[in-house]
Chains A and B, each alone.
Chain A
Amino acid sequence: MSKRIDVDDLNVYYSDFLAVEGVSMNIEPKAITALIGPSGCGKSTFLRTLNRMHEVIPGARVTGKATLDGEDLYGPQVDPVAVRRHIGMVFQRPNPFPTMSIADNVLAGVRLNSKRLSKSQAEETVETSLRGANLWNEVKDRLDRPGSSLSGGQQQRLCIARAIAVKPDVLLMDEPCSALDPISTLAIEDLMHELKSDYTIVIVTHNMQQAARVSDRTAFFNIAGTGKPGKLIEMDDTTVMFSSPREKATEDYISGRFG
Chain B
Amino acid sequence: MAATTPLEPSLAAPSGLLASRPRLPRWAVPSTIGFSFALSAVVLFLADSLTIPAVVALTVVLYAVAISVWSLRVEGTRYAADRTATTVVTAAFGIALIPLISLLWTVLQNGARVINFTFLNTNMVGVYGEMTEGGIYHAIWGTILITLAATAISVPIGILTAIYLVEYGRGALARGVTFFVDVMTGIPSIVAGLFAFSLFTLLFGPAFRAGIMGATALAVLMTPVVIRSVEEMLRLVPNELREASYALGVSKARTIFKVVLRTAIGGIVTGVMLAIARVIGETAPLLLTVGLAADMNWDLFEGRMATLPVFAYRQYQQGGIGVDRAWGAALTLIAIVMLLNIIARLIAKYYAPKASR
Contacts and interface: CB of A to CB of B under 8 A. Distances in A.
Interface of A: 51, 53, 56, 58, 81-86, 88-89, 91, 93, 95-99, 101, 108-109, 112-114, 145-146, 148-149, 159, 162-163, 166
5 contacts: A81-B250, A88-B248, A89-B247, A109-B249, A113-B250
A91 B242 CA distance: 12
B131 to A, nearest CB: 56
B64 to A, nearest CB: 45
A84 B247 CA distance: 6
Nearest to B240: A95
A148 B247 contact: no
Contacts, number: 90
B247 A99 contact: no
B198 interface: no
A53 B247 contact: yes
A91 B18 CA distance: 45
Given A95-B240, A99-B351, 17 more contacts: A82-B249, A83-B249, A88-B247, A88-B248, A88-B249, A91-B243, A95-B243, A96-B244, A97-B244, A98-B353, A112-B245, A113-B250, A146-B353, A148-B353, A148-B357, A149-B354, A166-B248
Interface string B241-282: 111111111110011001100110000000000000000000
Q: Interface on chain B toward A: helix, strand, loop, or mixed SS?
A: helix
Given A99-B353, A99-B354, A108 B247 contact: no
B356 interface: yes
Contact of A108 (B170, B240, B242, B245): B245
Interface of B: 170, 238, 240-251, 254-255, 258-259, 262-263, 351, 353-357
Contact of B244 (A86, A91, A114): A91
Contacts of A99: 262-263, 351, 353-354
A24 B351 CA distance: 47
A157 to B, nearest CB: 14
B244 A159 contact: yes
A149 B356 contact: yes
Nearest to B263: A99
Contacts of B238: 95
The residue among B240, B243, B247, B356 with the most chain A CB atoms within 10 A of its own CB is B247
Contacts of B249: 81-86, 88, 109, 113, 166
B167 to A, nearest CB: 10
B248 A108 contact: yes
